[in-house]
Structure 1
């Protein structure tokens, strides 16, 4: 199974806000939805999906296991709770959201528990999120590269995570970009705005197209129908070699997400 190039992110969206966002996105044609236990919106996402009436097999649902549930004893029961909230018998992709702080729970233990969840039919694919190279190696050693669908990481024009991306590519591991628009900061960049004018596109479309053409999946979120539709259209935009080079030159290793006490040692 491949991971869709474009999906809907739901970080920071809850209750009626996330229900509206998910329903609107599904109406527009989105079929991939990304949520997480810590977002505290799985039940609302599940409600929106149920009320949309779209057949489950047409959807690609991702959730993520929170750090409190990474032990072999807790992981599967927590995923079963997530499935109940999402009103589905399985998810398409389950990720370790963050590595266990201080390696309190070994990567091997969490990944093997995830593998057991896959073998039990609770999730079609498994993967990781926010893993630097050292922990990617541990995950690969635990379950094999063929069982790791993606590493979901912060990746945008200002933080291109080149070392992690190069290692993933070498191993044959897919990368999913989150925070692709850099909290909207990338949309203000003069280089990106110039490329947008050239293509008669929005800056957001340019950034998303850059990421997808680079081989990454993207999961931008929005509560506005126009933005959701516009983001979806980015999949139809083709940037030329010079455009790609110009955006790649914007990398300044500007990390926006690095929670104290949670973030691993970044590459």
Structure 2
């Protein structure tokens, strides 16, 4: 079973979770129920995914106590002003059908609109009111992190960033470790582009596992939180079945060699300006 990692506010988070980015709202409830049946307890959604209602349906239908589930959602980019953020958060909670959310993140800093500090102050306000258990961010670079910490004195528990074997973001690791901010990997399989990588295929054959399982195991052994996504029941279960093997030092070094400065598949947080 996955390890529970301790966050800098004293809470804990499962190290592996189920992501629902790009999961059609019509099937989200079924996908999340499959995930919970497979053993996932961390479910990661966002206002921008437009499938929070499906996650809420799955929570109610799962037959698992709410206290055993760790639910994450994210503030949309167009709602960084305090009033808009409060309304957006209320909408998230209504769709999820829960009284308190375990983790709420600012989805992107959108530095061009210069409102992410206001958004962060609003999340901290909601945490103090007891509506959010833990507060964090997503896609924040070091300068964004330094600013919100400096202006509020509150350090995010998590920064969810694109991270996979071809884009390992090692230049960010020291800062996060120094401030006790856990890194959570989105697109952990490289948006599927790594599943046919010959180096990873060789490692998968060595361990009798799939390439996806090898990659997920790598994230876990790197101390990262990982949220793989699939809409297929057997793959959802397979992605969770990574606790019966271990990558050795040579395997880890081999995967380290796949890192590329040009490995990013998603937007650059320094320039991303889309609103949703």
Structure 2 length-normalised TM: 0.90
Residue 8 (structure 1) aligned to one of 13, 18, 22: 18
For residue 160 of structure 1, what is the aligned residue in structure 2?
Answer: 168
For residue 229 of structure 2, what is the aligned residue in structure 1?
Answer: 221
2:137–2:160 Cα contact (<8 Å) kept: yes
Give me the whole-angstrom Cα distance separating, in 1, the residues matched to 2:165 and 2:157: 23
- Cα RMSD between the aligned structures? 1.7
Residue 31 (structure 1) aligned to one of 28, 41, 57: 41
Residue 17 (structure 2) pairs with residue 22 (structure 1)? no
Listed one character per residue, the Cα deviations across residues 26-55 of structure 1 (whole Å, up to 9, x for unaligned) are 111211100000000011111121122321
Give me the whole-angstrom Cα distance separating, in 1, the residues matched to 2:68 and 2:119: 29
Q: Which moved more, 1:212-221 or 1:48-57?
A: 48-57
Listed one character per residue, the Cα deviations across residues 122-151 of structure 1 (whole Å, up to 9, x for unaligned) are 110000100111111112213335x41100
1:111–1:142 Cα contact (<8 Å) kept: no
Give me the whole-angstrom Cα distance separating, in 2, the residues matched to 1:240 and 1:131: 31
Any idea what SS the aligned residue of 1:57 has? helix
Any idea what SS the aligned residue of 2:242 has? helix
Give me the whole-angstrom Cα distance separating, in 1, the residues matched to 2:172 and 2:113: 20
Give me the whole-angstrom Cα distance separating, in 2, the residues matched to 1:22 and 1:247: 30
Give me the whole-angstrom Cα distance separating, in 2, the residues matched to 1:169 and 1:122: 27
Gaps of 5+ in 2: 1-10
Give me the whole-angstrom Cα distance separating, in 1, the residues matched to 2:118 and 2:141: 17
Residue 120 (structure 2) pairs with residue 120 (structure 1)? no
Gaps of 5+ in 1: none
Q: Which has the higher helix share?
A: 1
Any idea what SS the aligned residue of 1:160 has? coil
Deviation at 1:262, TM superposition (A): 5.5
Equivalences for residues 170-181 of structure 1 within 5 A: 170-181=178-189
Residue 58 (structure 2) pairs with residue 41 (structure 1)? no
Listed one character per residue, the Cα deviations across residues 168-191 of structure 1 (whole Å, up to 9, x for unaligned) are 112221100000101111111111
Equivalences for residues 1-267 of structure 1 within 5 A: 1-105=11-115, 107-144=116-153, 147-253=155-261, 254-258=263-267, 263=272
Residues matched between the structures, number: 262
